[in-house]
Structure 1
Amino acid sequence: MKLTLDKEGLSGKVITRENPYYETARTMWNRAIQSYPLAIVYCNNEEDVKNSILWARKHQVPIRIRSGGHHYEGYSTGNDVLVIDVSKMQGILLDESAKKITIEGGVRNRELYEFLGARGYPFPGGGCPTVGVVGFALGGGWSYSGRMYGLACDCIVEARLINYEGKLIIANEKENRELLWALKGSGGGQFGVITSMTFALSPQKQEATLIRIEYSHVTRLDQIKMFQLWQNQIESMCHEANFKLSFYHSKTKGLGMLLIGICYDNTEKAHKIIEPFIKLGYKLQVLVQSMSVLEVNRWIQDAHPDFEHYKSSGRFVKEKFNSKQIQNLLECIEELAEGAVYTALSCYGMGGEMLKPKKEEVAFSYRDSRYILGFQTVWEDNSYSIANQFWFKERFKRIEQQTCGSFVNFPASEIQNYQKAYWAEAYLKLSQLKNKYDPDGVFDFEQTL
């Protein structure tokens, strides 16, 4: 396509390829994603979103929707597409009397934690500060607070979106109820551009306990024993606590394990919860500290890098693995890929309040899982991207064989039957709703419904 294009009808800040800001504007959090959109529109309001959709349809340009820019596979951007970027839409409205919080489509974890935390409210949001809250919630929304407050999608009470015709659609319990159901787990970008989302407020909670345990210079046998302990503990753990446990292989640290979590209780209760993990007796560093809920989330967020080059995905685990199966999984991180600096298998705890809603109440299909098993490889130089992607693909096949479905917020292009993997029995109803609310396929992308 030509470098110059007819921008008549577009509003907001329009960035095209000849703009000196283009390189910055096209950059994703995952620096392995290298796509070149035809244009990027930074929308300030619903009118800008509407104009972008109508312009794209008029000129037959594919649409992608972007907020935080954290999509694992880069489906929020693309080559020769129009990126509708809502990251400038940062409004937040708290209604304490109705126990609701409404955010615009561009609000990220960081902004929402700061806003609610200053007022004493927790929120089951993500760990990385620059992830868009709306996209996070649309895919289900796992969090360190999930066993206490449920999945983020369970808290959605209303959404406003601009549809394929540029019209405003409101989805709540009174109107477009089936669409509200679909938005609770279908993933981002399926039915339109979400301009605002309303969540039910969690009860006020001032204090929580941060937990971090790192085990360094461990052996493969140590990791197997820890995996076995994890499986037993996460099943019976109290609702107040949740953890992410990573088995890693680092270029600088070697083999290790890292347990990070939040306990919505005092340090005494937290120590009792982690006692079995401490008793393993490996060389470890332990942090158990009481602080405000806001400070806990700041600490977790600040541990994330500003960007990465990575390939990653996540699968659901419903059954306990025996020692042979665990060893088979851990062999995936036995060796680093060429140019890689880090690889890990990570267990994201589920259960607790995540089990409370009935399965059919939302589109998220895997709430009865024990945990999510994440898998990633990280490198620093994009010249190693192909090598790392090949390395990941070969090992991901092994992980797929032992797990039961894929987390749509942790997508992978390698998944063949992604419809079944992401949505399971919810897929049929979701596909029908996709045909109803986007009959022309305006919001299609690589792994759309």
Structure 2
Amino acid sequence: MKLESWFFEGLTGEIVTPKTPGYEESRQEWNRAINKFPLVIVYCGDKQDVANAVRWARKRCVPIRIRSGGHHYEGYSTGNCVLVIDISRLNRLELDREKNLLRMEAGAKNTAVYDLVGSNGYAFPGGTCPTVGVSGFTLGGGWGFSSRLLGLGCDSLVELELVNDQGKLIKANKDTNADLFWACRGAGSGNFGVVVGMTFQLPEPHNPTVTLVQFFYVGTTKDKQANVMDIWQKWLPDLDPRMTVVASFYNAEGEGLGIFARGFFYGTPAEASALLQPFSAVEGYREELEESSFLEAVKKVEATYPPSEKFKSTGRFVQRIYSGKELSNIADLVQHPAEGSVYAAVSFYAMGGAIESVGKRDTAFFFRDARYILGIQSVWTDDCAAKVNREWVQERFQSIKPITRGSFVNFPISNLPNYEREYFGGNAPALNRINRKYDPFNVFTFPQGLK
């Protein structure tokens, strides 16, 4: 015990090791299929705890992982024999109503941010899952149900605070460390340092009316999935930017094939219904449109998420129209789920609108011109099914890779060759130069970090 105390000397905050009660719970990610065993987890209560952890890791040559919400799809916010810097307790929020600014510590979750801004009449371009950390979401770009109107999460970011490789606190904005600020808007997750504070410019408060959009089909078939996909790809380019939706073609245990879409429309149900009319051409179409405040709509979406899952999920960018044969091949992807799968899906996350209005070189998020993100997912409950389900997703990823261009870093996939180019496109060389400047000794590393 004395040896352990000596080894962890210098760390502050709540220190959790394999010998600490609660270690098993503390090491868990939201994705319970991730099963890693950190050397030590530090729950940081303030920024100094973060700085001490970085300095300790450098001195001991222990790899660092950074965790806020613990939602990294491939589990890169943890690892075996690493130091996990957990910033989830750095979660204070401050609303500046005079300047319409949200200042937050970087461990804040979607649900807490929504509660604050929504109750004060603001909208916020955050994510959909309540327990996702806003910092991880934003630093990877950040797609959500307001993105086509308000932009990606990173587009509203105006300043950040970061603990660098020396354990020093620095700021980055358009005037100070501007290159670092540029890089963190789309490529900041786990790279460059530990982000501990963020400031967002909010839209003017006006208690926006939001229609929660949901539509589905009765009696889904493979042909129907392909037909709806064809409508989707022709409908999306001219869609009113006030609407952002994700449509999923799935195969679920006990239900079979289905089509379900959900999203937000910043307007009335009647307007939303008119926009959705092209989908009614396919037999079995049903829609549910519910008008409410922004916060009420967010809460309804949050309530659909389980406390945890076991899954593998990833996503690629789509830039073109697909032929009938290609649509049939995409629909084929979910016809035969992996053994043990309880839910397998191909999903389409709408882009365009305000996302595309920002230049691909203006932030590190490169694939601004994509029409949508094509996602693939499988969920299981039995640990014995993990291997075959992971392989199922990996095989389907390989099948869509030739007809897509670039992978979404917030929907990552391991074993991706040339991953820097795949995630960051033409911005990858500049990102590597900035990484060498701010983290020359690769203090902040993870399996798909900038090198």
Structure 1 length-normalised TM = 0.98
Q: Which amino acid aligns with 1:259?
A: A
Partners of 1:91 and 1:293 in 2: CA distance: 22
C-alpha distance after superposition, 1:45-71 (max 9, x if no partner): 110000111111111111000000000
Q: What residue number does 2:151 align with?
A: 150
TM-fit CA distance, 1:285:
4.3
5 Å matches for 1:17-28?
Answer: 17-28=18-29
Matched, 1:265 2:255: no
Q: Give me the CA root mean square deviation.
A: 1.2
Contact in 1 for aligned 2:68/2:106 (Cα 8 Å) = yes
Q: Which amino acid aligns with 1:233?
A: W
Q: What residue number does 2:330 align with?
A: 329
Q: Paired residue for 1:278, among 277, 280, 283? A: 280
Contact in 2 for aligned 1:3/1:16 (Cα 8 Å) = no
Contact in 2 for aligned 1:250/1:342 (Cα 8 Å) = yes
Contact in 1 for aligned 2:217/2:283 (Cα 8 Å) = no
Partners of 1:196 and 1:278 in 2: CA distance: 46
Task: Flag structure 1 segments of 5+ consecutive residues without an equivalent.
Answer: none
Report the secondary structure of 2:91's partner residue: coil
Partners of 2:427 and 2:267 in 1: CA distance: 36
TM-fit CA distance, 1:94:
1.1
Partners of 1:202 and 1:107 in 2: CA distance: 20
Report the secondary structure of 2:276's partner residue: helix
Contact in 2 for aligned 1:162/1:193 (Cα 8 Å) = yes
Q: Which amino acid aligns with 1:136?
A: F
Contact in 1 for aligned 2:74/2:413 (Cα 8 Å) = yes
Q: What residue number does 2:237 align with?
A: 235
Q: Which amino acid aligns with 2:302?
A: Q
5 Å matches for 1:177-188?
Answer: 177-188=178-189
Report the secondary structure of 2:187's partner residue: coil
Q: What residue number does 2:410 align with?
A: 409
Moved over 6 A (4+): none
Matched, 1:202 2:203: yes
Partners of 1:250 and 1:62 in 2: CA distance: 39
Q: What residue number does 1:317 align with?
A: 318
TM-fit CA distance, 1:3:
9.8
Q: Which amino acid aligns with 1:131?
A: V
TM-fit CA distance, 1:205:
3.7
C-alpha distance after superposition, 1:140-179 (max 9, x if no partner): 1111101110111111100000001000110011210111
Contact in 1 for aligned 2:152/2:355 (Cα 8 Å) = yes
TM-fit CA distance, 1:217:
3.0
Contact in 2 for aligned 1:29/1:69 (Cα 8 Å) = yes
Contact in 2 for aligned 1:243/1:260 (Cα 8 Å) = yes
Contact in 2 for aligned 1:4/1:16 (Cα 8 Å) = no
Q: What residue number does 2:74 align with?
A: 73
Describe the shift of the 1:230–1:205 C-alpha distance in structure 2 as closer, same or farther (beyond 3 A): farther
Contact in 2 for aligned 1:26/1:37 (Cα 8 Å) = yes
Q: What residue number does 2:107 align with?
A: 106
Judge which range, 3-12 or 44-53, deviates more.
Answer: 3-12
5 Å matches for 1:38-77?
Answer: 38-77=39-78
TM-fit CA distance, 1:187:
4.0
Contact in 2 for aligned 1:216/1:253 (Cα 8 Å) = no
Partners of 1:308 and 1:422 in 2: CA distance: 25
Judge which range, 356-365 or 68-77, deviates more.
Answer: 356-365
Report the secondary structure of 1:374's partner residue: strand
Q: What residue number does 1:225 align with?
A: 227
Partners of 2:338 and 2:3 in 1: CA distance: 37
TM-fit CA distance, 1:399:
1.1
Matched, 1:10 2:1: no
Partners of 1:3 and 1:61 in 2: CA distance: 17
Contact in 2 for aligned 1:164/1:192 (Cα 8 Å) = yes
Partners of 1:425 and 1:70 in 2: CA distance: 27
Contact in 1 for aligned 2:67/2:88 (Cα 8 Å) = yes
Q: What residue number does 2:393 align with?
A: 392
Q: Which amino acid aligns with 1:385?
A: A
Partners of 1:360 and 1:392 in 2: CA distance: 31
C-alpha distance after superposition, 1:359-415 (max 9, x if no partner): 211010001100001101110011211111122222211011111010000000031
C-alpha distance after superposition, 1:122-152 (max 9, x if no partner): 0011010000001100011111101110111
Q: Which amino acid aligns with 2:234?
A: N
C-alpha distance after superposition, 1:258-303 (max 9, x if no partner): 0101100111111111122233231x54310110100111111111
C-alpha distance after superposition, 1:82-135 (max 9, x if no partner): 000000011111112222111101101100001100001000110100000011
Partners of 2:204 and 2:69 in 1: CA distance: 27
Contact in 1 for aligned 2:359/2:368 (Cα 8 Å) = no
Report the secondary structure of 1:185's partner residue: helix
Partners of 1:187 and 1:321 in 2: CA distance: 32
Partners of 1:157 and 1:121 in 2: CA distance: 17
TM-fit CA distance, 1:203:
2.3
Partners of 1:221 and 1:374 in 2: CA distance: 19
Report the secondary structure of 2:122's partner residue: coil
TM-fit CA distance, 1:216:
3.8
Partners of 1:272 and 1:414 in 2: CA distance: 43
Q: Which amino acid aligns with 2:273?
A: H
Q: What residue number does 1:141 align with?
A: 142
Partners of 1:219 and 1:414 in 2: CA distance: 33
Matched, 1:127 2:133: no
Partners of 2:390 and 2:360 in 1: CA distance: 34
Describe the shift of the 1:421–1:295 C-alpha distance in structure 2 as closer, same or farther (beyond 3 A): same
Report the secondary structure of 1:359's partner residue: coil
Contact in 1 for aligned 2:376/2:396 (Cα 8 Å) = no
TM-fit CA distance, 1:79:
0.2
Q: What residue number does 1:252 align with?
A: 254
Between the two proteins, the alignment pairs up a number of residues equal to 447
TM-fit CA distance, 1:252:
1.5
Task: Flag structure 2 segments of 5+ consecutive residues without an equivalent.
Answer: none
Judge which range, 364-373 or 267-276, deviates more.
Answer: 267-276
Partners of 2:398 and 2:45 in 1: CA distance: 42
Partners of 1:436 and 1:18 in 2: CA distance: 38
